[in-house]
């Protein structure tokens, strides 16, 4: 039997948006202005209080067939237990606690525990190399890192440069004799569960999560979110992802990125939904088997993963029973029309594209379940969101359908970032004429659908991960052979775009395939696998302006087969 979707209840988009008010979510969550609103409590204790303590909150499957299952009472107790452990260390409200782990249960449960004591969660992608880790921990002045033994060596390499990092908490086996100063073991399985816990009385504007995102220039920025973000995250999960009580939900995003927390923890658990986590590397067979095994009904994934599944072919799909799937959605990069059409053919359902950012905290433009999908379109703004495409010169909304401009939003939705951590100036730069500038460009058609064009800056979106060319160029300069570098993107069938580096060498170094590989590995280890140039081109010189500034856009245009544009300032054309 098909479930009623949002659009069944509100037949038109106009009707859906007409009387919208965020108080719909507040009412659902029984929240009143001025109440405590601790996300950790809402995601666990409240669900238990509503009579769902024994309902499964999490099915976990790790590499090697490890399976674990947690009820909502289990995650409530785990949050209490981790919170108690942190408090005993002296961690308190406002402290930054970094999660640097694979997608193990301790990551999800620590997220709740940190919030329950009022500390700020700083999730970082576990594939980050030591340099990427360092700049983010230093900027956040992080007090504790929770990690696994397999990632400990990266933390140890930078520890001496981080005097504020008092504790490194390891959640799996390290022999006590091998621990260094400030390192502590914590085993959730062995800890005594804490039944009663004094939860921090977080208010709407109390800080909750600090996600880092890359920009064109400067170091990564810490995007500060608050507990009130729950309001947007709850309602968008309910309406856009269409989660119902009986659903089994799978968000494939890693909580090192905002999708993995907003819609991989907060959204589903605040709704009391059962979710599944697969902590293994990607393979089409493994993913389909996972959907079949857990009878997943709602699946939120990313275009790169969808394109990888497309590449694996239609035949493999036929080996699995995927009839449980009811609703599919996608986020991270533009979802190409071919992927939407393919999913309709092989799964009998289209992927619904959603658009939002680390800074927005929740879905902003989307294809609702039941709404007419135009393959390749981002959809329409979520109710309560005022979105526009602005003229890049005047920052005034463009009324003419099909005209390209900057995607912008009127501030004021609950999950919007509150600042960039220790960088109020950069935060203010994101606003012009009362609009928040997303940094992306699109058009709007005559039916109000948004169509993504690309970034408005040099940031590279590879497989949904933003990579700063500046960060890669800075790291490249530390390689002994690199004289100068310019980093841009090149098209990629699966990842949409990947990093490409143009490099001039210092005297005494000769270009060659071994040096190319050495440079690739250098960046992979220092920054991350996503930031690793997948192509290196050795050049005699880089295009520069007469004032000496490297013109990345010339190289970008060449890679993408685009018009180079005005090169009157080019020094060495």
Partner 1 sequence: MEENALNEMKEMILKYVIKEYVDDDDVEITYETPLISSGYVDSFSMVSLLVFLENKFKIKIPPSKATPEAFDSVNNIVALVNQYLNK
In the complex with partner 1, which residue's Cβ is closer, 287 or 368? 287
* Least distance in angstroms from the C-beta of 515 to partner 1: 10
Q: CB-based contacts of 90: which residues, under 8 Å, 6+ apart?
A: none
Q: CB-based contacts of 315: which residues, under 8 Å, 6+ apart?
A: none
* Least distance in angstroms from the C-beta of 474 to partner 1: 19
* Least distance in angstroms from the C-beta of 532 to partner 1: 6
* Least distance in angstroms from the C-beta of 278 to partner 1: 10
- Give the long-range contacts of residues 559-563, CB within 8 A, separation 24 or more: 559/488, 559/489, 559/490, 559/491, 559/500, 560/489, 560/490, 560/491
For residues 489 and 559, is the Cβ–Cβ distance under 8 A? yes
Catalog residues that contact partner 1 under the rule CB under 8 A: 63-64, 102, 127, 149-151, 153-154, 279-283, 286, 308, 312, 462-463, 494, 513-514, 516-517, 520-521, 524, 529-530, 532, 534
First vs last C-alpha separation in the chain: 65
In the complex with partner 1, which residue's Cβ is closer, 233 or 462? 462
In angstroms, rounded to a whole number, what is the distance separating the alpha carbons of residues 180 and 167?
Answer: 10
In the complex with partner 1, which residue's Cβ is closer, 284 or 324? 284
In angstroms, rounded to a whole number, what is the distance separating the alpha carbons of residues 107 and 411?
Answer: 31
* Least distance in angstroms from the C-beta of 330 to partner 1: 17
* Least distance in angstroms from the C-beta of 550 to partner 1: 25
For residues 413 and 407, is the Cβ–Cβ distance under 8 A? no
Q: Return the residue matching tokens 């605040």.
A: 270
Question: Chain-centre distance of CA 531, in angstroms?
Answer: 16
Write out the two tokens for 76: 């409530």
* Least distance in angstroms from the C-beta of 175 to partner 1: 10
In the complex with partner 1, which residue's Cβ is closer, 282 or 431? 282
In angstroms, rounded to a whole number, what is the distance separating the alpha carbons of residues 136 and 159?
Answer: 13
In the complex with partner 1, which residue's Cβ is closer, 444 or 536? 536
Task: Tell me the torsion sign for CA atoms 198, 204, 206, 207.
Answer: positive
In angstroms, rounded to a whole number, what is the distance separating the alpha carbons of residues 98 and 140?
Answer: 9
Helix axes of 130-140 and 513-526: crossing angle, nearest 10 degrees? 30
């Amino acid at each position: 039997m098909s479930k009623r979707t949002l659009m069944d209840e509100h037949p038109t988009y106009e009707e859906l948006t007409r009387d919208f008010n965020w108080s719909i979510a507040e009412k659902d969550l029984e929240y009143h202005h001025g109440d405590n609103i601790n996300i950790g409590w809402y995601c666990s204790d409240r669900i238990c209080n509503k009579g769902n303590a024994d309902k499964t909150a999490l099915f976990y499957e790790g590499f090697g067939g490890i399976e674990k299952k947690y009820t909502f009472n289990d995650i409530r107790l785990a949050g209490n237990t981790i919170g108690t452990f942190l408090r005993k260390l002296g961690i308190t409200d406002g402290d930054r606690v970094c999660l640097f782990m694979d997608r193990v249960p301790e990551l999800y449960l620590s997220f709740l525990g940190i919030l329950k004591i009022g500390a700020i969660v700083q999730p970082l992608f576990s594939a980050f190399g030591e340099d990427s880790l360092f700049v983010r921990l230093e900027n956040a002045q992080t007090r504790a890192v929770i990690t696994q033994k397999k990632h400990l060596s990266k933390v140890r390499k930078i520890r001496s440069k981080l005097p504020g990092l008092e504790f490194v908490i390891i959640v799996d086996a390290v022999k006590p004799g091998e621990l260094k100063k400030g390192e502590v073991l914590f085993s959730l399985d062995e800890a005594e569960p804490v039944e009663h816990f004094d939860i921090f009385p977080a208010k709407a504007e109390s800080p909750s999560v600090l996600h880092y995102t890359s920009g064109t220039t400067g170091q990564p920025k810490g995007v500060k979110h608050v507990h009130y973000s729950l309001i947007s995250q709850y309602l968008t999960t309910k309406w856009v992802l269409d989660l119902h009580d009986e659903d089994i939900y799978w968000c494939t995003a890693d909580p090192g990125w905002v999708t993995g927390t907003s819609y991989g923890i907060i959204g589903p658990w605040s709704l009391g939904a059962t979710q599944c986590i697969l902590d293994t590397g990607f393979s089409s067979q493994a993913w389909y088997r996972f959907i079949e095994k857990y009878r997943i009904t709602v699946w939120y994934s990313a275009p790169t993963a969808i394109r990888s599944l497309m590449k694996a072919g239609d035949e493999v799909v036929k080996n699995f029973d995927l009839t449980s799937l009811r609703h599919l959605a996608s986020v991270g990069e533009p979802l190409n029309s071919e992927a939407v059409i393919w999913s309709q053919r092989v799964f009998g359902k289209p992927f619904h594209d959603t658009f939002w950012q680390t800074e927005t905290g929740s879905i902003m433009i989307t294809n609702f379940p039941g709404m007419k999908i135009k393959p390749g379109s981002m959809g329409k703004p979520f109710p309560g969101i005022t979105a526009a495409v602005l003229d890049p010169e005047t920052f005034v909304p463009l009324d003419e359908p099909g005209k390209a401009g900057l995607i912008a939003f009127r501030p004021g939705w609950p999950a919007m970032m509150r600042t960039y951590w220790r960088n109020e100036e950069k935060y203010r730069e994101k606003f012009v004429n009362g609009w928040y500038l997303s940094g992306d460009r699109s058009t709007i058609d005559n039916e109000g659908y948004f169509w993504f064009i690309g970034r408005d800056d040099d940031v590279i979106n590879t497989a949904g991960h933003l990579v700063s060319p500046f960060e890669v160029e800075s790291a490249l300069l530390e390689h002994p052979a690199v004289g100068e570098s310019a980093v841009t993107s090149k098209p990629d069938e699966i990842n949409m775009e990947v990093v490409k580096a143009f490099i001039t060498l210092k005297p005494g170094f000769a270009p060659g395939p071994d040096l190319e590989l050495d440079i690739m590995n250098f960046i992979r280890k220092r920054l991350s696998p996503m930031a690793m140039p997948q192509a290196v081109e050795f050049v005699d010189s880089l295009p520069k302006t007469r004032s000496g500034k490297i013109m990345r856009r010339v190289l970008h245009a060449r890679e993408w087969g685009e018009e180079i544009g005005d090169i009157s300032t080019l020094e060495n054309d």
